[in-house]
Amino acid sequence: MNELTAMNKEIRFYTLIAAAILSTIGWFAFPIEGKQIAVGVLVGALCGLIGFQMIIHSAGSLEADTKNPKAKAYRAYLLRYLVYAAIFVLAVKSGVNIIALLIGMLAHKACILLYTYRHRKEDD
């Protein structure tokens, strides 16, 4: 297993654990909107994971493409944010709490930071 695959697997694991914990807390802490909050955190975290996969895929395909990589990177960036927007719009229209969506997305970002902190190289 190469380093990129190991990183991806570990970040996914951290994100799913964080989403499960935050969803459970949201479910029990807010009895009236607990279900919408729990679902929102899960959808936000999964949205972050989808975007992360899209970044990994586009970074890998940019290496192979020597013809206009800047335009290809811009298209990948635009597509990723359109996917984020579509997921958020569909979730909010379904009654999911938007703050919970953002918390789930930020939980994924926090897991990426946790990964980088745990695997930093110590300076001598």
Write out the DSSP string of 3-54: HHHHHHHHHHHHHHHHHHHHHHHHHHH-TTTHHHHHHHHHHHHHHHHHHHHH
Question: Residue 104: in which H helix or E strand, if any?
Answer: helix 98-118
Instruction: Using the predicted structure, report yes or no on whether residue 121 has a pLDDT greater than 90.
Output: no
pLDDT at 64: 63
pLDDT at 31: 85
Of 112, 100, 124, 82, the residue nearest 36 (C-alpha): 100
Instruction: Using the predicted structure, report yes or no on whether residue 67 has a pLDDT greater than 70.
Output: yes
What count of residues does the chain have? 124
Q: What is the pLDDT of residues 26-46, one digit of tens each?
A: 999 988 888 999 999 999 999
98-118 and 34-64 helices, crossing angle to 10°: 50
pTM, to two decimals: 0.86
pLDDT at 91: 93
Of 52, 41, 54, 59, the residue nearest 105 (C-alpha): 41
Token pair listed for 110 = 């926090």
CB neighbours (10 Å) of residue 35? 16
